[in-house]
Amino acid sequence: MDPFNEVKDDAYSVIDRLESLIAQRISGRPPSTEQSQDFDNNYEELQEMRDDLQSALEQSAKDPSQFNLTSDDISQRQAILQDLNRQISHLLQSWDNKKLRDVTTMSNRISQDDENPFNIDTDSGGGGTTNMTSYQQQELIQEQDVQLDDIHKTMMNLNQQATMMGDELEDQGFMLDELDYEMDHVGSKLDRGMKRLNIFIERNKEKASNWCIGILAVVLCVLLVLLIVA
């Protein structure tokens, strides 16, 4: 497949993800940190793809025949790049407009909350119960959910690491037990070998002494015979 078309398909896939992120935004609520980072990362990736396509088009436009391209192919690729530039600009504008509407809506809600900061329920018999506003409760719950998710992920990672360490220590323990058993077995064999070697040496010492005495006796007898004959 043509590398240009592969990068083009990837770029349009990123555009679909960005449009999905914009559509997922809840009206009247500012984007979460995760949503903003996700949008920024995908947008930067899309810009890099656009730059790569632009560079490839400039190289191929100098000598289309070298890349087995025609003038129609070059024109078609230029149209694709123009469409990508238009979509990139439109995505950023849509995201910024959405952020602006969210900020405006949030400002209006804050203004309304300032007019009735304690959200006093006047229909409850004049008791005047002080409660948080619905928007503040939603924001607080959202922040707590994000924090709990982060804590949960951290605990899961720690649990996985602890499990891996426990398995590794258990394996090391088995290996040490096997090594200890092998060392005891080898030590026992060495002890038995040393005992046999000592017994063999002692027996050879006695036999050597007897042989020496016998040889000396024979030598003396020979000398006596020689003296007598002489």
How far apart (Å, rounded) are the C-alpha atoms in residues 79 and 32? 35
Domain-by-domain residue ranges, the chain?
1-100, 201-229
Q: Tokens for 81, please give them.
A: 């790049």
Instruction: Identify the weakest region by mean pLDDT among 3-12, 171-180, 197-206.
Output: 197-206
How far apart (Å, rounded) are the C-alpha atoms in residues 89 and 35? 19
Class of CATH domain 1-100:
mainly alpha
> Which pLDDT score is estimated for 107?
46
What confidence tier does 188 reach under pLDDT thresholds 50, 70, 90?
confident
Instruction: Report pTM.
Output: 0.41
Average pLDDT of every residue of the chain: 76
How far apart (Å, rounded) are the C-alpha atoms in residues 107 and 101? 10
Q: Supply the DSSP string of 116-151, one letter for each residue.
A: STT---TTSTT-------HHHHHHHHHHHHHHHHHH
Q: Residue range 16-30: average pLDDT?
A: 72
Amino acid at 121: D
Q: Tokens for 31, please give them.
A: 């984007």
> Which pLDDT score is estimated for 104?
47
Q: Are 17 and 40 in contact (CB under 8 A)?
A: no
3-class SS at 72? helix
User: 14: exposed, middle or buried (C-beta count within 10 Å: 0-12, 13-18, 19+)?
Assistant: buried
- Per the rule left: phi > 0, alpha: psi between -120 and 50, beta: everything else, 219 is alpha
Amino acid at 4: F
Q: Are 31 and 102 in contact (CB under 8 A)?
A: yes
> Which pLDDT score is estimated for 98?
64
144: phi then psi, degrees, rounded to nearest 5: -65, -40
pLDDT digits (tens, 9 = 90+) for 72-129: 888 898 899 899 899 888 888 887 776 555 544 444 444 444 444 444 444 444 444 4
